[in-house]
Amino acid sequence: MTSKAESIAQAVVAALTSPAMTSVPAARIYRDLQGALAAGDLPAIVVELGDEIAPDPGGTLIGRKMRRVELRLQTVAAASLGSSPYAAADPAVVEAHNRIAADPTLGGLAFGYDEGDTQRQREDAEKNIGSVTKAYVFQFHTTEASIE
């Protein structure tokens, strides 16, 4: 069985890969990243689960718990010398956000999301590489005794 949090992450990957994005090929959307990306493999998007916030009682949903999980989309891009990797990542960041916003419940897995911080970071590399990480906190419910 799969936890609801992992199902949410997989649904985001599916939303970003089908149909294929115009800014990032489906083969460069990763559920998790184990290792470095070559500059020739950019731009790329990495979908990572963050922390799960302690659950709340379900309120009017007796026998249920309200849960929240942070999900981060990290877009990594390279730019030519003299230009910004953030500008190179921007089309993918916008397209990915628009795909999530088009179905905030991810087909009914979640009640929706709260948009979190956006962070920008330059990478120490021989190329002009940077990343833009956008956070979302998805709200969902489970039974009292389960995380699925």
Instruction: List the chain pLDDT tens, one digit each, 148 residues.
Output: 899 999 999 999 999 999 999 999 999 999 988 776 777 889 999 999 998 888 877 666 677 888 999 999 999 999 877 789 999 999 999 999 999 999 999 999 999 999 999 999 987 666 788 999 999 999 998 887 778 7
Give the whole-angstrom CA distance, residue 132 versus residue 87: 10
**Contact 68/137 with Cβ under 8 angstroms?**
yes
Neighbours of 78 (CB within 10 A): 22
- Range list of H helices, the chain: 4-17, 85-102
Instruction: Quickly count: other Cβ atoms within 10 Å of residue 42's Cβ.
Output: 22
Give the E-state strand segments of 60-127 in sequence order: 64-79, 112-122
* pTM for this model (two decimals): 0.90
Q: Check the CA dihedral 85-91-95-98 and report its sign.
A: positive
